[in-house]
Amino acid sequence: MNHEDLYNKSIDVIIKNQHLSGAYIACPSFPSYNYSWFRDSSYIAYSMDLIENFKSSEQFHSWAVNNINKRETEIRRLMNGDMDNYEEVLHTRYQLNGHEGADSWENFQLDGFGVWLWSLYEHVQLSGRKITKEIEKAVELVSGYLSMLWQKPCYDCWEENRNEMHIYTLSCIYRGLKSSDSLLASNTFANTTSQIKKWILEEGVISGSLCKFKGNGAIDSSLLGVHFPNDVFGNKEAIMRKTVDRIHSELYKAGGLHRYAEDSYYGGGIWILLTAWLGIWFFDDGNPQAAEEILDWIGIKADKDGHLAEQYADSLNNSTFLPIWNKKWGESANPLLWSHAMYIILHKKLYPGI
């Protein structure tokens, strides 16, 4: 599909799948993804801010603020050091009405809340939205929560590896706390963010490149997030460069990017949102041509309805797992709103005037 059509279609898919409550559904046609994730939604809201659809991003952030403030008692309990039940606090995904899901899930994930603070900061910058008392309260709660828990192992952004400290997750917390300070014009987390950066440098680097999690030498495409949006290191810094070189040489196959080499979810295919993420890196690194090639490739992957799936079964890591997942949950999620959002973000980089 050509860029113009896919760009418009992507906006359409996002708007049509935003619930009246303000929540964005991760994927309408995939039952396990009939929820709103803070992670996915924060990127989706940012894409709406970029295209100046402030109504959409405003509704999402209001939904998020309400849902956080509603949980104030639990969050404060946790912030006061009562850690017994910390897994019960702040689920990673919610029903569209803001309630927690009934079925069990890998709920303890911290990255989405860090990314949400960043997305909210961008929203305020781009839309000029006033920071109300309610927003301020939600920002204080989430940043307090993250600053208390950043050293706790939790699931990664792929909802795996419960007992590890993940570099992408930490970069999101870093960026989230910086965003909180900017939003509230304070300096509360200056110390914590330096500690996080120091921790990443001391524990998250193997042979000059960032690694998936402490002590694990594998590379993971989510590390692109350390650059955008988290900006922990400038893109000229050797560490970021070496990380992206590894991502590119080990995980970029058949035109698209894998999550990580051992991934077996749906056989471990190539992901649209990650490939767009690499395109964003290329663009920021002064290589718009490579970014454009990625945009073209995504256009080829779109189906006749202009839908972008989560992943495609090209160059699978382990094809024996594809039929197993197809039998369990049906075809890979399509359309995935996060895929469309990352396409819009990349498109906006290349064609800011459209």
* Residue 273 CB, nearest approach to ligand BGC (Å): 9
Which is closer to ligand BGC, CB of 40 or CB of 220?
40
Question: How many residues make contact with ligand BGC (CB under 6 A)?
Answer: 10
The secondary structure of 154-167, three-state, reads: CECCCCCCCCCCEH
* Residue 112 CB, nearest approach to ligand BGC (Å): 8
Which is closer to ligand BGC, CB of 55 or CB of 99?
99
Helix axes 238-251, 272-284, angle to 10 degrees: 140
Take residue 308 and report the two structure tokens written for it. Answer: 């972008």
* Residue 222 CB, nearest approach to ligand BGC (Å): 8
Phi-psi sector, 289: left (phi>0), alpha (psi -120 to 50), beta: alpha
Which is closer to ligand BGC, CB of 232 or CB of 272?
272
| Other CB atoms within 10 A of residue 125 CB | 12
- In the numeric block, the tokens 């980089």 are attached to 349
| Other CB atoms within 10 A of residue 324 CB | 12
For residue 19, count CB atoms less than 10 angstroms from its CB and return exposed for 0-12, middle for 13-18, buried for 19 or more: middle
Q: Do 143 and 177 meet the contact criterion of CB atoms below 8 Å apart?
A: yes
CA dihedral 105, 107, 112, 113 (to 10 degrees): 150
Query: x/- binding map, residues 150-169, to ligand BGC, per CB under 6 A?
Result: -------xxx----------
One of 37, 43, 46, 283 touching ligand BGC (CB under 6 A): 37
How far, in Å, CA of 60 to CA of 42, rounded? Answer: 9
Q: Which of these, 305, 219, 311, lies nearest to 8 by C-alpha position?
A: 305
Which is closer to ligand BGC, CB of 23 or CB of 336?
336
Cα first-last separation, the chain: 17
Residues 313-342 binding ligand BGC (CB under 6 A) are: 336, 338
Residues 163-222 binding ligand BGC (CB under 6 A) are: none
Residue 40 touches ligand BGC, criterion: CB under 6 A: yes
* Residue 302 CB, nearest approach to ligand BGC (Å): 18
* Residue 166 CB, nearest approach to ligand BGC (Å): 12
* Residue 36 CB, nearest approach to ligand BGC (Å): 9
Which span sits near ligand BGC by CB under 6 A: 33-41, 42-50, 146-154, 245-253?
33-41
* Residue 93 CB, nearest approach to ligand BGC (Å): 7
The residues facing 205 across adjacent strands are 210
Q: Do 353 and 40 meet the contact criterion of CB atoms below 8 Å apart?
A: no
One of 10, 14, 23, 33 touching ligand BGC (CB under 6 A): 33
Which span sits near ligand BGC by CB under 6 A: 32-40, 132-140, 162-170, 283-291?
32-40
Residue 39 touches ligand BGC, criterion: CB under 6 A: yes
How far, in Å, CA of 133 to CA of 175, rounded? Answer: 22
How far, in Å, CA of 193 to CA of 173, rounded? Answer: 8
* Residue 261 CB, nearest approach to ligand BGC (Å): 16
Take residue 63 and report the two structure tokens written for it. Answer: 């939904």
Query: x/- binding map, residues 10-29, to ligand BGC, per CB under 6 A?
Result: ----------------x---
Which is closer to ligand BGC, CB of 88 or CB of 159?
159
197 contact partners, CB below 8 Å, separation of at least 6:
174, 232
Residues 120-149 binding ligand BGC (CB under 6 A) are: none
Residues 51-80 binding ligand BGC (CB under 6 A) are: none
* Residue 156 CB, nearest approach to ligand BGC (Å): 9
Take residue 237 and report the two structure tokens written for it. Answer: 């810094």
Residues in contact with ligand BGC by CB under 6 A are 26, 33, 37, 39-40, 157-159, 336, 338
